[in-house]
Amino acid sequence: MQAALTFQLLVLLAVANGTPVAAKLVLGKAFARPLDGGALFVDGRPLFGPSKTIRGIVTSVSATSGAAALIGLGWEVGALVGTVAMAGDLCSSFLKRRLGLAPSSMAIGLDQIPESLFPLLACRLLLPLTMLDIGVATILFFVGELVLSRILFKLNLRDRPY
């Protein structure tokens, strides 16, 4: 296993998934246009919901690109991680709406795995990752996100404690 590369990718996953939350804290409702424009799917439920915004995607991809360049992986890796992490997050939101779960509601596994596993798999195009690296990083992200979420909630930096 490549510990240094795994750590770098965990940092990028944290940036990719944490930036939309930080943008919401800093900017409030400013620039928070829902990505789905309020559209409903054929089941009558929102496509993604109001918490998935254009602002979140743009800030995530931008910040992750910058962070990757700063830690020596190149902005291209950051852009890939940010883009695919947001795609994974949108997949989760789409599925949660189909299951009738409210925006920002908890769905353990569904909230963590697509937004970490998908970008890690995509990084195999640019980095020498093994399936072991990907598996370990996904598990570490899963556990780390649950722990960090509770800490951020206690610090009043997150709306929900998961």
Domain ranges of the chain: 3-154
User: In terms of residues, how long is the chain?
Assistant: 162
CA-angle at 82, arms to 4 and 26, nearest 5°: 105
Q: Which residue has the tokens 């640019």?
A: 126
CA distances from 15 to 66, 95, 99, 131, 155 (A): 10, 23, 28, 22, 19
| Residues 20, 60 contacting (CB under 8 angstroms) | yes
Give residue 151's pLDDT: 86
CA 135 to chain centre: 17
The rounded distance, in Å, linking the Cα atoms of 75 and 124 is: 15
Give residue 135's pLDDT: 96
Give residue 39's pLDDT: 94
Give residue 101's pLDDT: 86
Give residue 157's pLDDT: 67
Sign of the CA dihedral 161, 47, 38, 81? Answer: positive
Give residue 148's pLDDT: 85
Q: Which residue has the tokens 């795995």?
A: 113
CA distances from 11 to 43, 45, 50, 64, 69 (A): 37, 34, 27, 9, 12
CA 153 to chain centre: 17
Give residue 162's pLDDT: 64
pLDDT tens, residue order, the chain (162 aa): 689 999 999 999 999 999 998 999 899 888 899 999 999 999 999 999 998 999 999 999 999 999 999 999 999 999 999 999 999 999 999 999 999 988 777 888 898 999 999 999 999 999 999 999 999 999 999 999 889 888 877 887 666 666
For residue 53, give the 3-state DSSP assignment: strand
CA 71 to chain centre: 19
